[in-house]
Amino acid sequence: MSFPVVKTDPRVSYLDYTWLISGILYDGGGETLIPELMKRGINEVYFHNVAGNPIGKKTVAGVSGSFDVEQFHVVVTADQAENVFDFIYRFCDMAEPNKGIIYMNKLMRSTAHTLPELDTTEFEEITD
């Protein structure tokens, strides 16, 4: 059995040193976590609400769980991964029972996103 050859675009540079930190917060907290990460220069982060309950919590069949449950994803470089993971673990009090779960995976590759240089001459003409 042979695998198909993966064709890469030579115009796109890929990064192979990125990690994805993901987690679930049972009591919410994504809206406070994201600004704290952004203060530390981490902008590749997002969260969304999901329906769910902590493992072992009694529920009624057919009734959805708490809507405070949030799932988050943070993309960081390999040298930041351990420190950011530890920060999130402590900031979100993951050591307490039923607070949530957090895990980390190495990404195979990521696409570098670089912005073009800003041409300030356009802005100078507008302000004159």
CATH at 40: 3.30.70.120
The model carries a pTM of 0.69
What's phi and psi for 45, nearest 5 deg?
-145, 140
The answer as to whether 37 is a domain residue is yes
pLDDT of 29? 85
pLDDT of 107? 86
pLDDT of 82? 94
Distance CA 24, CA 30 (A): 9
DSSP annotation of 99: S
pLDDT of 66? 56
Ranges of residues in the chain with a pLDDT under 70 are: 1, 3-15, 52-67, 122-128
The answer as to whether 8 is a domain residue is no
**What's the number of domains the chain is made of?**
1
The answer as to whether 2 is a domain residue is no
Max Cα-Cα span within the chain: 67
pLDDT of 53? 62
